[in-house]
Amino acid sequence: MRGKQAIGVAVRGPDGQIFAGQEPLDSILHRNRFARAPFFRGVVVLYETLVIGTKWLMRSGSLAAAGEGVAFGGKAVALTMLFTIALAVGLFVLLPLLVAQGGVSFFFGDVSGGLEAFVVHLLEGLIRVVVFVGYLLLVSRSAEIGRVFQYHGAEHMTIHTLEADLPLTTENVRRFPTAHPRCGTEFLVIFILVSILVFSLLAGVELWVAILGRILLIPVIAAVSYEVLKWGAKRRDHSVWRWLFLPGIWLQSITTRQPDDSMIEVAICSMQEALAANGETAPEGSWDPVREPIPDAAELARDVEARLAAGERAAAGGDPEEA
């Protein structure tokens, strides 16, 4: 859960206990005096989504793996983050361009003309939408990603509960939908639509210019998309704007799922941590679960490995009581 000054994090450990903590938002982007300024704040959100989000997903996975005596090193986390960013840029920004240019070149030859360049641009936008939706549908078939989407739903439901000023309890959280108008999924939908408009400025240029330009324009598109998201989130009561932003809600039927109670408990715990970092408290009557500080995954893995080794030695020695 993102607070004003820190991110509240909660993780269900391998033995069922809840680990929780806070990460201050103090990167060089957050410390900049323009961090909350219009447009620049969209770049900050992009950083939080790609870097901080991936890092905590990896830490969660590290704790789960540590429960089996397996440790992920810092290099593995860093490489995964780099791979994630490269995959996002390659799959959703560059691949549609290359496929569109290749397809139009096959049928028309030169793609630098006005009509051909326009066709490439339209085809690229269509391919980008298809790739994005297809990717979500594909990864949603994974059981592991399905659990992530359940936690995603629990996050939104808990935010709805807080915004309604109701006590954060499992029963109250259950009353709300898994979709939320300020969801990251909706941000990505707007990002794709804005990119289609912005990339039109590069229609007809040489391929290397088109590729470089798309990479350099990513922060600009993120900045504009975030402002559109915030603007639209404040106007959902009007039927016209509600219908305009409805595709983002529809896509959340893929990226969010109904959580079980244990996931809602983790979401409430995360919200409690975010509120505490803000110096705020949850509504009276809210559940405040018992939790432990997030452990170092490497140390936890070594402890588990030592216990497993001791159990194996005891079993080999024939001492059932020690085993």
- For residue 250, the SS3 value is helix
Q: Is the dihedral of CA 110, 113, 119, 121 positive or negative?
A: positive
pTM (predicted TM-score): 0.79
**Helix and strand element counts for the chain (H, E):** 14, 3
Q: What confidence tens digit (pLDDT) does each residue in 195-232 have?
A: 888 888 887 788 888 889 988 998 899 899 889 888 88
6 burial level (CB within 10 Å; 0-12, 13-18, 19+)? buried
Q: What confidence tens digit (pLDDT) does each residue in 34-83 have?
A: 878 888 888 888 887 777 777 777 777 777 766 555 556 567 667 777 88
Query: Higher confidence at residue 34 or residue 320?
Result: 34
Kindly compute the dihedral angle of the four CA atoms of residues 58, 61, 62, 64, in this order, to the nearest 10 degrees: 170
Longest dimension (CA), the chain: 82
List all residues 6 or more positions away from 142 whose beta carbon is below 8 Å from its beta carbon: none
* pLDDT band, very low/low/confident/very high, at 307 (cuts 50, 70, 90): low
Do residues 266 and 154 lie in contact, with contact meaning Cβ atoms separated by under 8 Å? yes
- pLDDT of the residue at 139: 92
Do residues 70 and 303 lie in contact, with contact meaning Cβ atoms separated by under 8 Å? no
- Separation CA 65–CA 80 (nearest Å): 15
Q: Indicate if the pLDDT at residue 320 is higher than 50.
A: no
Query: Higher confidence at residue 153 or residue 289?
Result: 153
- Separation CA 136–CA 99 (nearest Å): 20
- Separation CA 51–CA 37 (nearest Å): 20
- Separation CA 191–CA 219 (nearest Å): 10
* pLDDT band, very low/low/confident/very high, at 322 (cuts 50, 70, 90): very low
List all residues 6 or more positions away from 224 whose beta carbon is below 8 Å from its beta carbon: 39, 42, 194, 198
